[in-house]
Amino acid sequence: MLKAWLFTLGNEVVQGRVVNTNATYLGRRLFLLGFDVQGNISLIDEVNLVAKYLKIVLSDKPSIIVTSGGLGPTYDDRTLEAVAKASERSLRLDEEALRMIEEKYAVRNMPMTEERVKMAYLPEGAVPIPNPVGTAPGSWLKVGETVIVSLPGVPRELEAMWEGWVEPRIRESFNLKVRLAERIFRVVGVPESSAAKIVKDVLKRYSNVYIKTHPKGHEVLGPVLDVYVLASGGSSEEAGKVADEVVAELVKALTSLGGRITEKPE
Amino acid sequence: MLKAWLFTLGNEVVQGRVVNTNATYLGRRLFLLGFDVQGNISLIDEVNLVAKYLKIVLSDKPSIIVTSGGLGPTYDDRTLEAVAKASERSLRLDEEALRMIEEKYAVRNMPMTEERVKMAYLPEGAVPIPNPVGTAPGSWLKVGETVIVSLPGVPRELEAMWEGWVEPRIRESFNLKVRLAERIFRVVGVPESSAAKIVKDVLKRYSNVYIKTHPKGHEVLGPVLDVYVLASGGSSEEAGKVADEVVAELVKALTSLGGRITEKPE
């Protein structure tokens, strides 16, 4: 089985200032793709500490290591330095990454500064990952038998990059047969805390499913939730069947609490 | 500064089936007590893997390591075996732990079984930590310069044991001068998702504060939230002042959204 490890980096995560939703998201996505996710290591922003633990995990030769956080323009964003150190490479200015960053700032008529150029330094041999939401590109680096994927810590950026670029590339690189199916629906009139109980109950019975609820604000009609279901299977049909079953169970339970199912959100 | 590390263990955490709120809780509590929390390592339920990483962290001689998860009666609850392995001790039946467990089952007229007795095996030299909520006792073990505290993974149990037993003992053992102050209030009519934004904003401005909201179900009056504020300072007065300021800010923002503040919950 293909082993996977996560590194979710940043003082705010380790010191409990924010809940580590990136670890949940990445763990679930990799698990659904069929990886044997062994662990998640969260560390404060210290290059040597991060490099030390990356090196330990690398020596176990997992198929993939995914890091989140520490790719931005500020002085404490040093994840790629740690990746370079752990893999005994140097950082070098990547022309494609630089172009990606320049485009982002050009649109807003903002000049390039030293801090912005810094985000274009990738470990030798890395491929930059486009960031459709923010500015810092990610990094895809093959080190021996391991791929190290580095993504920003902002969940919206990380998720967009994962779904748009990383996951398709993982599928191809590891020749994965597993297929995913996703469904989205909206429910009006059930508070997220009540929905959480239903979701938990369904998750207990389905091992290959990821469910996420997004509250969409408190409207006059009552609370509005968008519910996202992701299921995996050996074929698209199988995954689709599981996703439909899960949606049917969720809809049944939510409507029995007085919820009203509406159009699929855009 | 006193270094601290967390180990939050369990397949369900690593594979993203649940959000790792124990890491957030423990990271925040230790940070507020003045510890330099260096990292959190989440691992799947594999004794050798857990022992390996415990050993690596132990060799760095932190002041404290806190583990969560893997203390129950089932075959995959093997955290104390890993702790024993990493610290080169054996597990032995602890009479006090056995008594604690027997009492729990006696109340419910349930017999002791092999699985239940298993929970009384602690590493040599460990002190059992009473569990006022569940059945599995925790373990407090001094290994060289490091204290290893092991707690169950159920958040209600972990939090009760932390607040009732572990934190006072840490305070004493490390002769900590920092003082904490807590406040609780209830707000009616503001959904948790709207409150979350306010909490996030306040947390940005106060570094020594922990805030948690507990939804209390969907009443006729509207959503009910209990808001818990914990602040740290060099003295009780200082901590209390910060807690009061934070409560005042939260109350102001919540009432401006139409929230009504009620009696302190019991």
If asked whether residues B98 and B33 sit together in one domain, one would say: yes
Quick check: B50 pLDDT over 60?
Answer: yes
Q: How far is A184 from chain B (nearest CA, A)?
A: 19
Q: Residue B157 belongs to a domain with what CATH number?
A: 3.40.980.10
Tokens 């705010």 belong to residue: A12
Give per-residue burial for B216-235: e unless 16+ CB within 10 Å, then b. Answer: eebeeebbbbbbebbbbbee
Pair of tokens at residue B179 = 């003082």
If asked whether residues A60 and A169 sit together in one domain, one would say: yes
Q: What is the DSSP string of B122-141?
A: EETT-EEE--SSSS--EEEE
Predicted confidence (pLDDT) per residue in B170-203, tens digit: 999 999 988 889 899 999 888 777 888 899 889 8
pLDDT of residue B180: 87
If asked whether residues B169 and B184 sit together in one domain, one would say: no
pLDDT of residue B42: 98
Last residue of a domain, one of A142, A173, A204: A173
pLDDT of residue B210: 87
If asked whether residues A163 and A184 sit together in one domain, one would say: no
- What is the rounded end-to-end Cα distance, in angstroms, of chain A? 37
pLDDT of residue A107: 85
If asked whether residues A40 and A127 sit together in one domain, one would say: yes
Last residue of a domain, one of A146, A173, A200: A173
If asked whether residues B169 and B196 sit together in one domain, one would say: no
Rounded Cα distance between A212 and A167, Å, is 18
If asked whether residues A32 and A159 sit together in one domain, one would say: yes
Quick check: A195 pLDDT over 70?
Answer: yes
Q: Residue A183 belongs to a domain with what CATH number?
A: 3.30.70.2860
If asked whether residues A26 and A141 sit together in one domain, one would say: yes
pLDDT of residue A217: 59
If asked whether residues A89 and A8 sit together in one domain, one would say: yes
Pairing outcome for strands B36-43 and B3-9? parallel
Across the range B16-29, mean pLDDT stands at 94
Across the range B90-110, mean pLDDT stands at 92
If asked whether residues B101 and B147 sit together in one domain, one would say: yes
Contact residues for B192 (Cβ-Cβ < 8 A; gap 6+): A191, A192, A193, B213, B215, B223, B225
Helix (H, G, I), strand (E, B) or coil at A246: helix
Which residues on chain A are in Cβ contact (under 8 Å) with B44?
37-39
Across the range A210-222, mean pLDDT stands at 69
Pair of tokens at residue B165 = 């037993």
Is B57 an interface residue toward A (CB < 8 Å)? no
Residues spanned by the domain of B235 = 180-262
Better-predicted residue by pLDDT, A179 or B247: B247
Q: Cα dist. B54→B57, B105, B136, B167 in Å?
A: 5, 32, 21, 21
Chain B CA closest to residue A9:
B39
pLDDT of residue B101: 93
Q: Residue B225 belongs to a domain with what CATH number?
A: 3.30.70.260
pLDDT of residue B221: 54
Last residue of a domain, one of B173, B189, B217: B173
Pick among B3, B15, B209 to test the A interface (most A CBs inside 10 A):
B15
Number of domains in chain A: 2
Q: pTM score, two decimals?
A: 0.83
Predicted confidence (pLDDT) per residue in A86-104, tens digit: 999 999 999 999 999 999 8
- Nearest residue, CB atoms, A31 vs list B15, B21, B49: B15
Predicted confidence (pLDDT) per residue in A118-167, tens digit: 999 999 999 999 999 999 999 999 999 999 999 999 999 999 999 999 99
Highest mean pLDDT among A40-44, A202-206, B29-33: A40-44
Predicted confidence (pLDDT) per residue in B133-155, tens digit: 989 999 999 999 999 999 999 99
Span of A76-85, A178-187, B42-51 with lowest mean pLDDT: A178-187
If asked whether residues B136 and B196 sit together in one domain, one would say: no
Interchain contact, B193 vs A192, CB within 8 Å: yes
pLDDT of residue A112: 87
If asked whether residues B39 and B87 sit together in one domain, one would say: yes
Which residues on chain A are in Cβ contact (under 8 Å) with B23?
16, 20, 42
